[in-house]
Structure 1
């Protein structure tokens, strides 16, 4: 029987070297695009008081357009659109804020929110009335939380009206 020779220590060190590379090396070698990392948002160079330095804001006009497109994609009802605002009857309104972002106001019976729904990292100035008939929040960055909020608003309206 022929005995297989064991790899030399020199060969073993070469294989171990390849295992210790970082993500940057792998990305450079394989030229891989990881689009899901975009879900975390772009790094912001500006700093706002009370927020982490990496927290950014989207352009208010573009944000309103994104909200409009998302509503149109999931909502079959009538949508009123003016220059800087969107509304669904007296139930929902979205308008460009003077400060920054888009102000959202929802009014109706038994709104499907709890206070923490309006305090996500992409929201500011969120408030919910004690009887849950009025909710107000400003969206300053589009992301999963904002999309989920708008979807929930449209779903609740479709069920209750």
Structure 2
């Protein structure tokens, strides 16, 4: 599905924000300088010229729903000694579903800390289930055999 520009805003002076709609959800991109904006336009035009399909949009709502219903996830989440990081991961996942941008590396570190604090680490089969959930929902990361997140 193509991105439809909803609004372009030039505020504060010298910054450009583009709000667009894709798959029914509003997203935004902020440019600090005109050079950043020109680079963005050049990248998009190159993708169009080369016939590169746009990257699929992550389905955070679907991902969150599947993970919150997953028995292995709930076991890890309830028995980790890193409850604070586990709670932060959940809060960030919900924020991402609402369209709030966030650094995936930090998301991965928080999740990996949650796994590290677990009394019973996930099995390879459980990690494969999480990998399938991530893949199905177009997440910008995957889970390795140990259940740790690896950012794409």
TM-score normalized by the length of structure 1: 0.27
TM-score, structure 2 as length reference: 0.28
